[in-house]
Structure 1
Amino acid sequence: MITFTAPPSATTASTAEEDSTITSFSSLQTDIIEAHILPRLDGITLAATSCSSTTLRQVSSQDHLWYKTCHSTWPSTRSPSVCQVISTYPDGGPRKFFSHAFPLLEEDRSCSNLRPSSPLAPPPSELISAVDIHYEDKLIFSKVQETETVTGWFRCSPFRIDLLEPKDVIPTPIKHPDGDETCKYIFNYMTLSWILIDPIRLQAVNLSSHKPVTVQRHWLTGEVQMRFASILAVDRGHVQCGIVVTCAGSEEGEMMQIREICLEIEDMDGMHINGKGCLGILRRAMEGKKGKGRNRLQEGQRRYKEYLEMKKERQERKVRTEGTLDILCVAFGVSCFVAFWCFILFR
């Protein structure tokens, strides 16, 4: 008796091939994976790899891998003050710090992404800013600055952090603007990261949109102003954390120089918020939910455009309200005037 056996199907062959691939990858020594494969991954890919299997999770959770990831993503984190904060970070050290500092805040129109902090928790006595600017994937500026927040001057004055002194300039590879092409090039190839760290509570948040939301050139002076922004929801609407980078031409060559790098926070009416008010906003932002980290470029620009639309609608409502009040005031004045003359004529 002859028995015919069906040939293996394509699905069976494919499954066998996948099993062979999985077996061959699993057969790699842990040292090879840790020393030659995982260090080549960026933070997002490294985090995804840790979810693949128990072995990869154990290997990819090593602190030295995440220290390397943080330092390559943000060179400013090599500073001793920032390294000290990262080393004492709870629940994962540098891995936890990366999950706080990389993504944008998760958008929540109900403002629950900025839940009120405990009323007993005092505001931070110090803030650490870790700032990095890249142009065409090359680092052109990196600085760590500590800002005290306990003086009355800080709490009562408009919140502002300046990274450069008035006479400081930073050379850049950016050429003098030649029409709109240079501004478009800056818009596409300049990136900025501004990580604000609370060294007491060991919390951090990235306040930058990564790429500029606007690039404007002054028609008279030729200065180019780049704005990076993060929109935060608060109880009474939204606020803008705006990071302004101003470049101007140098007298010695064709390349431009950075003259100003500052962080400010303003409300929807364009009013700058004082230090005391900003401390509460920043504290809630650090405690808020973080996004997944993907598509942060488009997400940051989309939120800024929506913020401008909301700001425009708010201003239009304000104008209409003021116009209505003006009409009522005029009508009331006319009524009083008529009543007065009627009283004089018919008494």
Structure 2
Amino acid sequence: MATVDVINGDSISTLHSDIIQTQILTRLDGPTLASTATTSSYLQTLCTEERLWQELSIATWPAINDPRVVRAISSFPSGYRSFFADSYPFTEHTWQSEKHDPPTGLISAVDLYYRGEIIYSKVQEMETEKGKSGWFLSSPFRVDILDPKESVQTRIRYPGGDYEAWVKDMEESMKLNWILIDPIKKRAANISSRKAVSARRNWLTGDLEIRFSTIVTAAGAEVAAVVSCGSAEAWKEVDEEVGGEIHVRDVRLQVEDIEGKCMKGRDSLVILQGLLEGKRSCKDNEERRAKERYEEYVRMKIQWRENKERKEKAQDTICMIFGFSLFVLLWSFILLR
């Protein structure tokens, strides 16, 4: 959305409010609109119009134009303005060492883009209440947006040939917004990195998995939104020589620990709550920093794995020495009797 220079508050007050709202303010993006509201009391009144923020929010995240989300946003302190202020910036996790009750009734609003064009949108509620689905809290956390046999037809094609070049192009071309909404606490957050932080082939399924991750360093965890793309024929892998049409086969959210294992529902929800309540940042380089944090986290995982292997090797060596010493001692006792 375009930005425009704002006229001085005194001179702009001579214009009719309808002209300002329909011809000027509708051309502003969210941060510029918020800044414009601080220039004068007159503009503040016009810039806080609910319809203005509603249209801006829906244009930014089409999936939220859903009755369930509309109902949730209507309960926010300032409606769509509060929702936008929560969802537009990047969120930084606020880690609490003490245990909290996990949030309930969370709503996911997902928008997937390819080269700036939306290719998939969906809203899904999480059944996290203890009475309805207690298994959710004790099982590995995973939110699947697509049904098991569902796939999304796209205009994406793999031309064949240089597979690695195509993977890099897919990583740069895909964008994901995953808005998490807590209707009870009236908070929302975009928990996706927006741009992909990695893209690699799953050698088990043959699909290309593209990650949009938020790293929670203090908890040693990765909140990963994963998009899997594969051949239009579910039973067939992409032919690297011939190429072919690409479908989206899976869109999921999971929270992984430093070992790469999916964390349980309760712990995952507490981490997500930390993102909902965390600090917000609107710096220009946040997308790049998100990828840098992911790459640093990957290096930390590798180092952690190497340290673990060294410890296990040392423990095995000690056990072998102890066992051998015990064996020698036993035979010495038998022979010297």
Indicate the TM-score class for this superposition, using the shorter chain for normalisation: 0.7 to 0.9
The Cα offsets for residues 147-197 of structure 1, whole Å up to 9 and x where unpaired, read as 211212212211111111122121111112532333222222211111111
Q: Indicate whether 1:100 and 2:86 are aligned.
A: yes
Say whether the 8 Å CA contact 1:117–1:284 is kept in structure 2.
Answer: no
Q: Would the aligned equivalents of 2:75 and 2:183 in 1 still touch at CA under 8 Å? A: no
Q: Which residue of 2 aligns with 1:301?
A: 291
When the two chains are superposed, the root-mean-square deviation of aligned CA atoms in Å is 2.5
Which amino acid is 1:85 matched to? Answer: A
User: Would you say the 8 A contact 2:9–2:42 is kept in 1?
Assistant: no
Equivalent residues in 2 for 1:1-347 (5 A)? 24-25=11-12, 27-90=14-77, 92-106=78-92, 113-115=94-96, 119=100, 122-150=101-129, 151-178=133-160, 179=162, 180-217=164-201, 223-234=207-218, 237-250=219-232, 254-292=244-282, 294-347=284-337
Report if the CA contact (8 A) 2:9-2:43 is conserved: no
Q: Secondary structure at the match of 2:70?
A: helix
Counterpart amino acid of 1:87? S
Aligned length: 318
Change (3 A) 1:34 1:284: same
TM-score by length of 2: 0.86
CA distance in 2, matches of 1:293, 1:184: 25
How far apart are 1:293 and its partner, in Å? 5.2
Letter in 2 for 1:279: L
Give the distance between the partners of 1:114 and 1:282, measured in 2 at CA: 10
| Unaligned 5+ runs, structure 2 | 1-6, 235-242
Shift of 1:219: 7.3
> Structure 1 length normalisation: TM-score?
0.83
CA contact (8 A) 1:247 1:259 kept: yes
Larger mean CA deviation between 257-266 and 325-334 belongs to: 325-334
Alignment deviations for residues 54-88 of structure 1 (CA, whole Å, 9 cap, x no partner): 33333212211111111001001110110111111
- Structure-2 change in CA distance of 1:22 and 1:57 (3 Å): closer
Deviation at 1:249, TM superposition (A): 2.2
Distance 1:327 1:262, change over 3 A: same
Larger radius of gyration: 1
Deviations 1:119-144 (A, max 9, x none): 5xx43332211000111211110100
Amino acid paired to 1:176: Y
C-alpha contact 2:223 2:253 (8 A) present in aligned 1? yes
Aligned partners of 2:40 and 2:165: how far apart in 1? 47
Percent of pairs identical after alignment? 41
Listed as ranges, the gaps of 5+ residues in structure 1 are 1-19, 108-112
Larger CA deviation: 183-192 vs 156-165: 183-192
Displacement after TM superposition at 1:200 (Å): 1.5
> What is the SS of the residue equivalent to 1:105?
strand
